[in-house]
Structure 1
C-alpha cells in the first residue's frame, strides 16, 4: 500500500540521481487580451508508478507510457503553479507543496522571485483542490500564512470535505496524512476564505467549473478575455499520456476513479471542441497547450 513514507522515500532517492528533472522557473506563458498568464515551477513530484498507473490494462498502458519516453516504475511529474495578472489582480491558482511534502517540490518562492514578485504581491489564491502539492504551500515552517495579503477562494464542497473530522478516518490509510495536512491549513484560513460555486465568475475574467472525481470538490477555472480563453484544469487532467490517450481509464491517483474518468472525458471533449488552451498542473513544458483529438483519445500539444 502506498503511504506518504513511500512517496518521500522515492523522492529522496530520485534527488540523488543525475537525471532528476531540472526545474524551470517560468516555463511558459500566454496573453489573453490584457491578461498575462505564466506558469511557475514548484519543482516536481516523485511517485511510484502504481500511484497513477495501477489498475490499468498493464500491457497497453506500458506501451502508451513508453511511447512518451517514460518508465512505469517511477514518475516525476512537474508541478506548474499558474500565475495570472490583469493589471489589478495578481492571482495564483494553487500554492504548491511548501516545505513539508517532498524535497523535490516546494520551490514556489524561488519561482516568484525569478518572476520579480514577492508573496506579498499576491492578491488572490484560488484552489483547485486540497491535495498536498496544491495546498501545503499555504503555511510556512512557523505556520504563518505565506500569502498574508491574499483573499482565498475554494469550492465549498472541497473545503467541507477536508475540514470534516470524519475524512481522516474514511479517506484510506495511504492518504491519512493528506487529510490531516489539509485540515490544518484550511482551518488557518477558515475565517477569511470565500467559497465559489460552479459557473460563478469569481473574479473578472475567471469562471469556476466543477470537475469532481480527483477529489470530491475539485474545480477547474476558465480564464477569458473576449473570444480567447484558457482552462486551468488542476488535476482533472493529471498527466499527458494515459489521461489524454485513454481518459476513460481509472487512475490510482483519483479518489473517485469512475467520476474522475467521466469528468476527464467531458473536459477533454469541451476543450478540444472549443480549441481552447489548457493549463495543467502536472503537464510537461510548463503545462500550457491544447488537447487534440487522436483516434479514440486525445494528444496533449504543448504550446
Structure 2
C-alpha cells in the first residue's frame, strides 16, 4: 500500500496578500493500492469549549493530559477530516462536512474538492458515520439543493431512526436541540433515496459497516479494503487524539451515551492496536491517518503524516 501526504495552501490568499503567510485550507493523506485510493480532505476545524469534551472527567487529571498536547486554554480546535474513496467505478464520500451554517471555521469541503479536481457530480455514493452537524450539514448548498445530486446515500438504520423520530427533539438534551432540528430537516431531503444498513453490511464493494454506538445512538465505523490490508474509518467513535486515547474509559461530554461510547472506544482501540490496523479519525490531527499503539494503561495516536 502506497502512502503519501500533501499539504495544500489557498492560492487566493497568497495572491492577494503577497507578504502574508497563505492560509491553509486543507491537508491530504493518501493511501492507494490495487485500483483503490483513499484521500482525506479537510473541512476546516471546529472551535469548541473545553467543557463540552470533558463532561464529568476529573478536571485536574484531564488538564494534565491536555497540557501535554499543547491544549491549555478554554477551547479546543479539532480538525475535520472527510474521507474520499475512489475505485475504478465509484467515488465514495464518507460524511459531507459541516456546510455553511454550523461554524465559520468549518464547511471548507468545496475548496478541497476544487484542489483535488474532483467534481461533486462525480460522487456516486455518500456514506454517513452519523448525523451530527459537522458530518451532515454539508449535505445541502446555499439554495437548499443537494451538493452531491447524483449520489446514492447510506446511513445506519439505528442512526436514521433516531434522528427522523419526531420525539427526538423532545428527548435530546437541550444543548443538542439544534442538532436534532438540523438533522431532521436535512434527512427529510433524503427520505426517498436513502439506503439503510445494519452492522456487518457491505455498504459498497470493499466497505464493511462496523457498529460503534455511543457517540450517537447509531454511529457507524467502516472497514475499507485497500490492497492487502484494511483501514478503519472511525468517525467520532474515537473523537480526539488525547483524552480518547490515553483514557478511553473516561466518559466524554461529546458523546450522547457516555458509558456506551467508552465501551465502544475500549473495544475498538484494542482491536486497532492488536491488529496494527490503520485508522482515519474525523477529528484527529494531520489529516487523521495513523495507528493506535498501547502505552501504559491507555493508548497513543501515532500519526503517519506528522
Measure how far apart 1:241 and its partner are: 0.1
Residues 98-177 of structure 1 mapped to structure 2, 5 A cutoff: 98-177=99-178
Q: What's the CA shift string for 1:251-274, capped at 9, x where partnerless?
A: 000000000000000000011111
What are the ranges of 5 or more consecutive residues in structure 2 without an aligned counterpart? 1-21
Q: Report the Cα offset of residue 196 of structure 1.
A: 1.4
The whole-number CA distance in structure 1 between the counterparts of 2:104 and 2:24 is 13
Paired position in structure 2 for 1:204: 205
Structure 1: runs of 5 or more not aligned: 1-20
Does structure 1 retain, via aligned residues, the 8 Å contact 2:50–2:74?
Answer: yes
- Structure 1 moving runs of 4+ over 6 Å: none
SS in 2 for 1:136: helix
Deviation by residue 1:108-147 (Cα, 9 ceiling, x = unmatched): 0111000001211111000000000000000111111110
Cα distance in 2 between the residues matched to 1:141 and 1:30: 32
Alpha carbons 1:82, 1:93 under 8 Å: kept: yes
Aligned pair count reads: 283
> CA 1:286–1:274 in 2, change beyond 3 Å: closer, same or farther?
same
Checking the alignment, whether the CA contact within 8 Å between 2:133 and 2:179 is kept in structure 1 is yes
Q: TM-score, normalised by structure 1?
A: 0.91
Q: How does 1:2-17 map to 2 (within 5 A)?
A: none
Partners of 1:49 and 1:75 within 8 A in 2: yes
Q: Is the 2:36–2:227 Cα contact (8 Å) retained in structure 1?
A: no
Counterpart residue number, 1:248: 249
Deviates most, 258-267 or 114-123: 114-123
Local SS of the residue matching 1:99: coil
- Alignment-derived partner of residue 36 in structure 1: 37
Cα RMSD after superposing both structures: 1.2
1:16 aligns with none
Give the structure 2 partner of residue 281 of structure 1: 282
User: 1:206: Cα distance to partner?
Assistant: 0.3
**How many angstroms apart in 2 are the aligned matches of 1:26 and 1:84?**
16
TM, length-normalised to structure 2: 0.90
